[in-house]
Structure 1
Amino acid sequence: MTILHRDDADHIATLTMDAPERLNALSHAMLAALQANLDAIKDDASVRAVILRGTGKAFCAGHDLKEMQSGRQSEDAGAAYFADLFDRCATMMQTIQSIPQPVIAQVHGIATAAGCQLVATCDLAIADDTTRFGVNGVNIGLFCSTPMVALTRNIHRKAAFEMLTTGKFLTASEAADLGLINRAVPADALADETRALAATIAGKLPAAVKTGKSAFYEQAAMTTAEAYAYTGDVMVQNMLRDDTNEGISAFLDKRKPNWD
């Protein structure tokens, strides 16, 4: 059974997690499928934006707890198994931000633990307005330490710490207010809103978006002075591109750029 489907149209790749009976949990198979597809998309020049969504009642409920419990059967009580699991999950999350195409999470139902981490990791996110978000591992004795990495880079520290230590869930409206998602929309508008955002991005100069996404994450880890020096160099290189020259000339001439 295929648990992840890829569909391409109009320069947009849609990745659909399809394990509804496990709430699209990040099992070994799901992590491997996501990693393989993201790796393939990275070098696919025909793809300019990516939508990540899930089937069934949930976007993603986090790691597969039943699978994790089975990992305890080894002689080391699962130490090596768990280390490998969290390492592969971290690699997949970082791949989302390292590929040149913006990745948009289309979220519904619930996004919990590593599923909330997945939303926080995606470059953009739009949610059904009934969606709930949580890093609630503390409720079962497992502090969401790896999801915390993405969460604390998206929302206010105190809000994140409250979620992590109490298991509190956010509504979609609260998630939007805190910056975890871009916006919440009615369920019947979710697919169209997400697609429209992806189409807008896909209509921009791919080289400019690629340059900008990389620079966005690089400068965020720098001091202000370092960031200005770095992004100044990035803009110089961007300005020297022929297709950027064409885009600016077209704007001044009041015509559409010829980027084909």
Structure 2
Amino acid sequence: MKLMRVGPLGQEKPALLDAAGRIRDLSAHVDDIAGAALSPEGLARLAALDPDSLPLIEGKPRIGACVGAVGKFLCIGLNYADHARETGKEPPEEPVVFAKATSAICGPDDDVEIPRGSEKTDWEVELGVVIGSRAKYVSEAEAMDHVAGYCLINDLSERAFQSERGGQWTKGKSHDTFGPIGPWLVTRDEIADVQSLSMWLDVDGVRRQTGSTATMIFGVAHLVSYLSQFMTLLPGDVISTGTPPGVGLGMKPPVYLRAGQVVTLGIEGLGTQRQRMIPA
């Protein structure tokens, strides 16, 4: 299934994208794409519905973040060896973990703010993993049983805030609109091999990132298991799993985003995003 949330900011309703690409209203069956709806039982109930029986949502509504009420927005840094090297760092021996404020979450096509005083706002196409059931001390072999599905994320970053203001990544990653998520949450059963998905990102139509989840240092199962050793993962938690090379920081000389520019990105099977940069 491709689950989504549509409508004005803060008023999104749950929806499903049918096989013909039409948006179907799920409001009569679930309050939101969040919490218990993401459990194996919750997803099974939604999968049992006949999409043709669901009301159509006409027109072109705003698409919101595909997950509501996100509890934790966890990110993995330097998870592609060639990206680590382009930033001047060696590939890590263990996952680099940081948090992104949930207030950064926005829709996949919403405008993205360049923070006040920013000169180093950067882009990062990433695979998102959405947790569907409680995971605490889970093994790598059982980790995937706790995954509801996957989504596309742009892990926007302000590099000076991240690395030149005390070295605390979270404050360089958490500006409002720095977490576009969606357009869809694609359930795990629809992705044959999550470690073999092509990914790309363009700035003003110029290709900047081309990669594949095949080159991740730490795969999805390892990351879910690893994180569950340090904190309990709950339904609706989102993990952004790292970016391939081609970020602005890694260019020589570095190139960063400016107001008026347009970023487009996509991951095979997970849809695309489009964001216009605006001043905060």
TM-score, length of structure 2 as denominator length? 0.26
Higher helix share: 1
Higher strand share: 2
User: Bigger radius of gyration, 1 or 2?
Assistant: 1
For CA contacts below 8 A with separation 6 or more, give which structure has more relative contact order. Answer: 2
